[in-house]
Amino acid sequence: MCGIAGAAWTDPARAVDEQTLVRMTSQLVHRGPDQSGTYLGDRVALGHRRLSIIGLADGRQPIANEDGSLIIVFNGEIYNYLGLRTRLLEGGHRFRTNTDTEVIVHLFEDLGTECFAQLNGMFSLAIWDTTRQRLVLARDRLGKKPLVYYSTRDRIVFASELKAIVELDDVPRRLAPRAIDAYLTYLYVPHPMTIFEGISKLEPGCFATWSGGELRVARYWNPDLNEEDRTASEGEWSERLAELLKDAVRLRLQSEVPLGAFLSGGIDSSIVAGLMQELSSSPVRTFSIGSPIKEFDETDYARSVARHLGVEHREFIVAPDALEILPQLVWHYDEPFADSSAIPTWYVSKLTREHVTVALTGDGGDELFAGYDRYKALRVAQAVGRLPQFVRRALGSAVWQGLPGSPYRKSFLRRLKRFLAVVDQPPHELYLTMLTTFAATERIALYSDDFANGLAGNDPLEFVRGTMEQSSRRDLVTSAMLTDLKTYLVCDLMTKVDIASMAHSLECRQPFLDYRVVELAARMPLRFKLRRGRTKRILVDTFERYLPREVQRRSKMGFGVPLIHWLRGPLAGFARDVLEDPRCAQRGMFSARRVTTMLDEHIGGHQDHSARLWALLVLELWQRRWVDR
């Protein structure tokens, strides 16, 4: 696992020299602390930072093909590289290293950009073609590895992280209002935007070519999400799933450095750990993080799974210090990123790295096999939406009165009111409502007149709406799952895990996101995943041997932190100091009065604005670090 950066240009006045290239890659040391390398050509500069996983002795990058006509810098792992290498050797290619990186450059020599569809792995890469004087960028199918770029007519600059690109003095740091609008909607900035105007993310499953000042982006992976296979029985689906997921885990056990797994005690991570143990000759090392606050602690379940599987388990109980960690998060995430589960992910990555260099995770199981409660809620919503309005209101009141007293009661009420208010809308709109942190009316109330006027006609929900159209002929729940897979999982979960793990030079691998498993799950009918309120049904039935009974039937627990308590307790004063600081108002984006009202309502216990206030707090701290410098 590594960090890459570089540039290509047509105008010599826009060249990136070695000193600048080293400055860019120095921002990525955490991604690759073991080695660094550069290549400087007539019209190109390629830089690399290496975290050694495979080919420890001979894996220094950049790497070229036999005649030096192709040079690559690569971040990631290709799990099927040994089979590809054998085929290339039989075709007459000569190798100088034992790395997966060199396999790619030879494969590109044979197939050009068609080679990316043959790679099973996670990656972002750049290849300079000296013969055609073109730069080729590519990113894996599900966006597990990041890649951002800034392109003009006379130069393109790229990097694994935004912080490397903005090292160049002539790359502007102009805030993108549309990106801020989207961030407050989703808590992340969706691709292809970044928070800065003109700098873009390469979308998952895409490659880009830059030649003669012209940039072209194309997609190499675009499965038909409307395809559903209704011919196979449940037993046949289970057999296919067991075979593919086991092979996905087997491929991800390739490593020349210590390897382990995150174990939360949930279904997905338990299955991954179980398959690892089945394929290993010695006890697998697993790691979990616990909280001193019981409602946020899963260590009992993780401990139960560890005993059941016979793995070597370590758990860490951590009371997160938000004031200590926030500056680190703001620096590492580059953009405003307000998924608060980044905090425990940060800690479990940090502590796991003390013992292993590679960790397998259960990411992707929820999106592929209907693990989120919102999928059950969508089914209920469809039924409730057919009731008369007065019945819906009565139902909402009854549900509210029946809720036990808890700090989440008001939060649930707010979401329930929004939910009941839109159940008579078209079905896909129900799902969109569930995704938003600040609804459109709430954002308008927050924005200053000038900022709102500058966003006239902008609708950040088009990002999700457009993705849903790709599976519009499927049932609503399946369409929502596939949309989550291509939006929420990529832009939120993969970003969260990649940045938190690579900040500590830890490589995370996700067997559920092997593209073969994804394509299988996408074709699977919903009835095998969700039935009578039971989620992940086929996963539990197929892999029940790895799951203690209490884990099979447990409710899903989010990987979160007690934001609602923090922002009424230890962080309340800090939040006021930051959000009511004159600097905040002087930025001209938000109504100072509305921000104060939200603080008063939350701290006073009248409303739960914790997610919104956290988003505003992260945004302001991000601006102080990256805009004000």
CA distance 123 to 473: 31
Greatest mean pLDDT among 201-215, 322-336, 548-562: 201-215
pLDDT at site 231: 94
Taking alpha carbons only, the member of 288, 297, 272, 247 closest to residue 547 is: 272
The two structure tokens encoding residue 192: 């292809």
**Residue in the block written with tokens 């499953």:** 205
β-partners of residue 121 are 78
Domain ranges of the chain: 2-173+190-219, 234-370+476-552, 562-629
β-partners of residue 627 are none
The three-state secondary structure class of 268 is helix
Half-sphere exposure in the Cβ direction for 608 (13 Å, CA) = 17
Instruction: Determine contact, residues 194/179, Cβ cutoff 8 Å.
Output: yes
Mean pLDDT, residues 473-494 = 95
CA distance 143 to 141: 6
Mean pLDDT, residues 291-302 = 84
Mean pLDDT, residues 27-50 = 92
Please list the alpha-helical segments (H only) found in 333-388.
342-352, 365-369, 373-384
Cis ω for the linkage preceding 146 (within 30 of 0) = no
pLDDT at site 540: 96
pLDDT at site 168: 95
> Residue 43 contacts by C-beta under 8 Å, 6 or more apart in sequence?
8, 9, 10, 15, 133
Task: Name the E strands within 11-53.
Answer: 35-40, 44-50
Q: What is the pLDDT of residues 505-538, one digit of tens each?
A: 999 999 999 999 999 999 999 999 998 888 999 9
Instruction: Determine contact, residues 144/122, Cβ cutoff 8 Å.
Output: yes
Q: Which helix (H) or strand (E) holds 211?
A: strand 206-211
The two structure tokens encoding residue 333: 């995430």
Taking alpha carbons only, the member of 541, 538, 546 closest to residue 305 is: 546
Flag whether pLDDT at 393 surpasses 90: no
The mean pLDDT of the chain is 91
Residue 58: how many other CB atoms lie within 10 Å: 12
pLDDT at site 241: 98
Which member of 2, 491, 508, 584 is catalytic? Answer: 2
Higher pLDDT, residue 319 or 602: 602
Q: What is the pLDDT of residues 58-81, one digit of tens each?
A: 678 899 999 999 999 999 999 999
Give the confidence band of 293 by pLDDT, cuts at 50, 70, 90: confident
Stretch among 14-28, 206-220, 516-530, 555-569 having the lowest mean pLDDT: 555-569
pLDDT at site 394: 66
Give the confidence band of 426 by pLDDT, cuts at 50, 70, 90: low
Q: What is the pLDDT of residues 588-598, one digit of tens each?
A: 999 999 999 99
Distances 321 to 184, 279, 291, 318, 328 between C-alpha atoms, Å: 24, 38, 12, 9, 12
Flag whether pLDDT at 392 surpasses 80: no
Q: What is the pLDDT of residues 441-451, one digit of tens each?
A: 999 999 999 99
CA distance 149 to 216: 13
Give the confidence band of 415 by pLDDT, cuts at 50, 70, 90: low
pLDDT at site 381: 73
Choose which CATH entry (3.30.60.50, 3.30.2350.10, 3.60.20.10, 3.30.70.120) describes domain 2-173+190-219: 3.60.20.10
First to last CA, the chain: 29
pLDDT at site 380: 78
Place domain 234-370+476-552 in its CATH homologous superfamily: HUPs (3.40.50.620)
- % of the chain exceeding 90 in pLDDT: 79
Taking alpha carbons only, the member of 315, 340, 307, 314 closest to residue 326 is: 340
Flag whether pLDDT at 558 surpasses 80: no
Give the confidence band of 26 by pLDDT, cuts at 50, 70, 90: very high
Give the confidence band of 559 by pLDDT, cuts at 50, 70, 90: low
Q: Can you give the pTM of this predicted structure?
A: 0.92
- % of the chain exceeding 70 in pLDDT: 91
Give the confidence band of 409 by pLDDT, cuts at 50, 70, 90: very low
pLDDT at site 43: 96
CA distance 43 to 533: 59
Q: What is the pLDDT of residues 220-279, one digit of tens each?
A: 999 999 999 999 999 999 999 999 999 999 999 988 788 999 999 999 999 999 999 999
Give the confidence band of 408 by pLDDT, cuts at 50, 70, 90: very low
Catalytic, 2? Answer yes
Q: Is 309 exposed, middle or buried (0-12, 13-18, 19+ CB in 10 A)?
A: buried
Give the confidence band of 291 by pLDDT, cuts at 50, 70, 90: confident
What order of strands is seen across the sheet that includes strand 312-317? Answer: 312-317, 285-290, 259-262, 358-360, 507-509
